[in-house]
């Protein structure tokens, strides 16, 4: 897997990341969602540089302008719930993309420290020969990303795959690196050192789904 960690180069992204992590700023859930969306826009721009481009001629009112435009048929798939604002950010730039949604949540059956990933809802177009962008802001253990990819396999073989995340734990990044092929690209805004015993990224930002959409009752 090829890892593109956007925090390697300081940029305006650091401002959005600081606000996402800041427990005071987080109280404004609209700003939280919008910052994830803005990061989705930045990720879309960055990953667009690795798409395939063909020459095009555009007729202006005064002549012809030569350019190159990307040729990829993009399917944007995000993992509910926290993936929704990241999805929106990517869709703001890839406005012709097809869309897939999947629910993958942590089910705590016996105690708060052990969970399994449950996939219940999946709506997806054909992925055959297309560019799949799989988006989830949090890459903690990496299990949701891998379970999602397994669930998508019956929909066809994508030509190329991009994983988009906001914060990952090193352990989760290592896990997805092992599970996905060497051609797969990961676009991420930060890789933190640790996971705690409940599978939360430390320092991370807390629970992205709850911060974006409010607390939920555990199953």
Ligand X SMILES: O=P(O)(O)OC[C@H]1O[C@H](OP(=O)(O)OP(=O)(O)O)[C@H](O)[C@@H]1O
Residues of the shown chain interacting with Mg ion in the complex, contacts defined by CB under 5 A: 207, 209
Show contacts with ligand X in window 126-185 (CB under 6 A). Answer: 136-144, 172
Kindly state the smallest distance separating residue 89's Cβ from ligand URA, in Å.
17
**Residue 47 near ligand URA by CB under 6 A:** no
Considering only residues 67 through 86, tell me which ones interact with ligand URA, judged by CB under 6 A. Answer: 82
Contacts (CB under 6 A) with ligand URA, residues 188-217: 199-201, 204, 207-209
Q: Could you say which of Mg ion, ligand URA, ligand X, none residue 200 binds, taking C-beta under 5 to 8 angstroms by partner kind? A: ligand URA
Q: Is 185 left (phi over 0), alpha (psi -120 to 50) or beta?
A: beta
CB of 169 to ligand X, least distance (A): 8
Prior bond to 61 cis, omega within 30?
A: no
CB atoms within 10 A of CB 3: 16
SS3 85: helix
- Residue 117 binds to ligand URA (criterion: CB under 6 A): no
| Tokens standing for residue 72 | 């990829």
Per rule CB under 6 A, count of chain residues that contact ligand X? 22
Q: Least distance to ligand X from the beta carbon of 69, Å? A: 32
Q: State phi, psi for 169 to the nearest 5 degrees.
A: -95, 145
Helices (runs of H) and strands (runs of E) counted in the chain: 6, 12
State in angstroms the smallest separation of the CB of 155 from ligand X.
19
Phi-psi region of 199 (alpha: psi -120 to 50; beta: other; left: phi over 0): left
- Binding of ligand URA by 146 (CB under 6 A): no
Token pair, residue 122, equals: 């999946």
d(CA 10, CA 154): 40
Nearest partner of 201 among 184, 189, 213, judged by Cα:
189
Nearest CA to 87 out of 123, 136, 150 is that of 136
CB of 212 to Mg ion, least distance (A): 9
User: Cβ 83 to ligand X, closest distance in Å?
Assistant: 6
Rounded-to-integer distance, Cα 110 and Cα 146, Å: 23
* Residue 190 binds ligand X, judged by CB under 6 A: no
| 83-112 residues near ligand X, rule: CB under 6 A | 104-106
Residues that bind ligand X (CB under 6 A): 79, 81-82, 104-106, 117, 136-144, 172, 199, 207-210
Residues that bind ligand URA (CB under 6 A): 82, 138, 140, 199-201, 204, 207-209
């Amino acid at each position: 897997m090829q890892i593109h960690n956007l925090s390697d180069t300081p940029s305006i992204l650091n401002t959005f990341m600081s606000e996402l992590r800041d427990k005071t700023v987080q109280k404004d859930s609209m700003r939280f969602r919008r910052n994830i969306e803005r990061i989705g826009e930045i990720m879309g721009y960055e990953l667009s540089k690795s798409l395939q481009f063909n020459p095009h001629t555009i007729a202006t009112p005064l002549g012809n302008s030569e350019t190159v435009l990307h040729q990829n048929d993009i399917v944007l798939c995000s993992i509910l719930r926290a993936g929704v604002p990241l999805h929106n950010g990517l869709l703001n730039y890839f406005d012709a993309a097809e869309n897939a949604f999947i629910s993958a949540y942590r089910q705590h059956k016996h105690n708060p420290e052990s969970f399994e990933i449950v996939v219940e809802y999946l709506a997806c177009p054909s992925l055959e020969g297309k560019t799949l962008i799989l988006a989830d802001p949090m890459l903690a253990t990496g299990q949701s990303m891998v379970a999602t990819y397994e669930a998508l396999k019956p929909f066809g073989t994508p030509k190329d795959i991009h994983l988009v995340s906001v914060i990952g734990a090193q352990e989760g990044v290592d896990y997805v690196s092992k599970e996905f092929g060497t051609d797969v690209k990961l676009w991420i805004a930060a890789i933190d050192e640790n996971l705690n015993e409940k599978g939360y990224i430390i320092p991370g930002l807390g629970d992205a789904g709850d911060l974006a959409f409010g607390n939920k009752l555990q199953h």
